[in-house]
């Protein structure tokens, strides 16, 4: 049995099943890492137990996606309080005893659309999201774009006339980036 986790800035959604027509899901508010991950672990252990064989995780970020990096699976320099440098994949793998694969939340949604949704007949697609954060993912020739060209669109800097709009922005790193000016709380 396969499990999935959407690790969002506002809530975590967990599920298991064989596809979109065969899913059991639950959601938990995103709190501290210890509280939130404990709820996730309890969900899988209670409902799936030893039948779980692997978990896919789509996480808010930024996240380290390089399997060769010592920080692979960590949520890195996130503005989400308490989550900076958290080893999400390590916590899940250790507690559940199964392998886990990590992707950004936006790329995970893009892959879902490419497999079952609006992008299923296309080799090239873009997925944009506006919520707690702002993000984008790109599929080119059937492959998700990673690396230097990964579209971290939420942190694009925008022209901002502070004389007309004194709002300072909420991003702790850039203030005037797209996410800092337009994302949810």
Q: Looking at the structure, do residues 69 and 124 belong to the same domain, yes or no?
A: no
pLDDT below 70 — which residues of the chain? 148-151, 185
- For residues 41 and 52, what is the distance between their CA atoms, to the nearest angstrom? 12
The verdict on residue 98 lying in a domain is yes
The verdict on residue 115 lying in a domain is no
Domain-terminating residue out of 59, 79, 107? 107
- Domain count of the fold of the chain: 2
Q: Report which of 23, 24, 22, 87 is spatially closest to residue 57, judged by C-alpha positions.
A: 87
Reported as a single tens digit per residue, the pLDDT across 90-121 is: 999 999 999 999 999 999 999 999 999 999 99
Domain-terminating residue out of 107, 128, 157? 107
Strand pairing class (100-104; 54-59): parallel
Residue 161 sits in which domain range? 120-182
Task: Supply the DSSP string of 39-97, one letter for each residue.
Answer: HHHHHHHHHTGGG--EEEEEE-S-B---TTSTTTTEE-S-SSTT-TTEEHHHHHHHHH-
- For residues 114 and 80, what is the distance between their CA atoms, to the nearest angstrom? 28
The reported pLDDT for the residue numbered 79 is 82
């Amino acid at each position: 049995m396969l499990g999935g986790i959407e690790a969002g800035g506002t809530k975590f959604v967990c599920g298991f099943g064989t596809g979109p027509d065969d899913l059991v899901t639950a959601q938990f508010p995103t709190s501290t890492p210890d509280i939130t991950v404990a709820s996730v672990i309890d969900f899988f252990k209670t409902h799936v137990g030893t039948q779980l064989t692997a978990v896919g995780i789509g996480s808010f970020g930024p996240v380290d996606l390089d399997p060769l990096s010592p920080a692979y699976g960590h949520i890195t320099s996130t503005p989400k309080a308490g989550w900076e440098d958290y080893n999400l994949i390590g916590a899940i793998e250790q507690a559940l005893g199964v392998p886990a694969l990590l992707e950004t939340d936006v790329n995970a949604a893009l892959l879902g659309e490419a497999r079952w949704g609006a992008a299923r007949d296309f080799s090239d697609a873009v997925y944009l999201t506006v919520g707690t954060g702002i993000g984008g993912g790109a599929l080119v020739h059937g492959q998700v774009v990673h690396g230097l060209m990964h579209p971290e669109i939420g942190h694009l800097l925008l022209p901002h006339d502070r004389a007309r709009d004194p709002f300072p922005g909420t991003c702790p790193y850039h203030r005037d980036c797209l996410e800092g000016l337009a994302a949810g709380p």
